[in-house]
Amino acid sequence: MLSTTLANKIIYEVGKLFEKDLIIVNIDGEIIASSEEGRIGDYHEGALLCAQKLEKIIIKESDVPYLKGVKAGINFPILFQGKVIGVIGITGEPSQIMPFGELLQKMTELMIKENYFSEESQWRARMIESFILDWIQEKEWTAEFIERAHVLKINLELCRLPIFIEWDQHSPFIFNAIGQIRQIWEESQSQDLMIQWGSHRFLLLHNGPIMQKTTILHKLKQLKTFIESSWGVSVRIGVGNKVIPRKLGIGVTDAEKALLAASETSPIMFEEDLRLELCLQEIKQSTKQEYMTRILDPLLAQEELLTTLKALFTYHLSLKKTAEELHIHINTLYYRLKKIEEYTGLDVKAVPDVFQLFLALQFLEEHTKKGIKKEK
Angle between helices 351-375 and 285-296 (to 10 degrees): 120
Domain termination residue (choose one: 249, 280, 311) = 280
Same domain as 227, residue 305: no
Whether 339 and 305 have beta carbons less than 8 Å apart is answered as yes
Taking the alpha carbons at both ends of the chain, their separation in whole angstroms is 37
Q: With respect to residue 253, please indicate whether it lies within any of the assigned structural domains.
A: yes
Query: What pLDDT is stored for residue 176 in this prediction?
Result: 67
Contacts of 361 (CB under 8 A, 6+ apart): 296, 309, 310, 313
Query: What does the pLDDT average to over 361-371?
Result: 75
Q: Which domain covers residue 237, as residue numbers?
A: 157-280
Looking at the predicted structure, is the pLDDT value of residue 175 above 80? no
3-state secondary structure of 133: helix
Q: What does the alpha-carbon distance between residue 363 and residue 376 come to, in Å, rounded to a whole number?
A: 20
What mean pLDDT, rounded, does the chain reach?
86
Distance separating alpha carbons of residues 32 and 38, to the nearest angstrom? 11
Q: How sure is the predictor about 209, in pLDDT bands with cuts at 50, 70 and 90?
A: low
Q: What is the DSSP annotation of 192-249?
A: -EEEE-SSSEEEEEE-SS---HHHHHHHHHHHHHHHHHHH---EEEEE---B-GGGHH
- Output the domain CATH number for residue 322: 1.10.10.2840
Q: Tell me the backbone φ, ψ of residue 177, rounded to 5 degrees.
A: -110, 30
Domain membership of residue 94 (yes or no) is: yes
Give the pLDDT confidence score for residue 94 in this predicted structure: 86
Rounded CA-CA distance 194/19 in Å is: 43
Residue 68 inside a domain? The answer is yes
318: pLDDT strictly greater than 50: yes
Nearest-angstrom CA–CA distance, 136 and 193: 13
Given pLDDT bands bounded at 50, 70 and 90, which one contains residue 334? Answer: very high
Q: Is the pLDDT of residue 172 over 60?
A: yes
Give Cβ neighbours of residue 313 (< 8 Å, ≥ 6 apart).
Answer: 357, 358, 361
Q: Where residue 189 falls among pLDDT bands split at 50, 70, 90?
A: low
Residues 293 and 193 in one domain: no
186 and 275 belong to one structural domain:
yes
Cross-strand pairs, 194: 204
Task: Report if residue 249 sits inside a domain.
Answer: yes
Looking at the structure, tell me whether residues 184 and 265 fall in a common domain.
Answer: yes
The DSSP annotation for 253-298 comes to HHHHHHHHH--SS--EEEGGG-SHHHHHTTS-HHHHHHHHHHHHGG
CATH classification of the domain holding 189: 3.30.70.270
Nearest-10 Cα torsion for 283, 289, 294, 298:
140
Residues 291, 285: Cα–Cα separation, whole Å: 10
Quick one: pLDDT at residue 376?
45
**Per-residue pLDDT at 139 exceeds 60:** yes
User: Among 43, 40, 49, 2, which Cα is nearest to 22's?
Assistant: 40
Domain boundary among 260, 280, 300: 280
Q: Check residues 139 and 51 and name the one with the higher pLDDT.
A: 51
Question: Does residue 178 belong to any structural domain of this protein?
Answer: yes
- Number of independent structural domains in the chain: 3
76-132 pLDDT, tens digit each: 999 988 899 999 999 888 888 887 787 888 888 888 888 877 777 778 888 999 999
Whole-prediction pTM: 0.58
Nearest to 46 by CA among 33, 35, 32, 60: 60
Alpha-carbon distance of 89 to 79, in angstroms, equals 14
The stretch 253-272 carries a mean pLDDT of: 89
The percentage of residues in the chain with a pLDDT greater than 90, rounded to a whole number, is 44
Sheet holding 193-196, edge to edge: 193-196, 201-206, 161-167, 235-239, 268-270
The last residue of a domain, from among 234, 263, 280: 280
Q: Looking at the structure, do residues 259 and 308 belong to the same domain, yes or no?
A: no
Residue 34: inside a domain: yes
Give the DSSP H or E segment for 76. strand 73-80
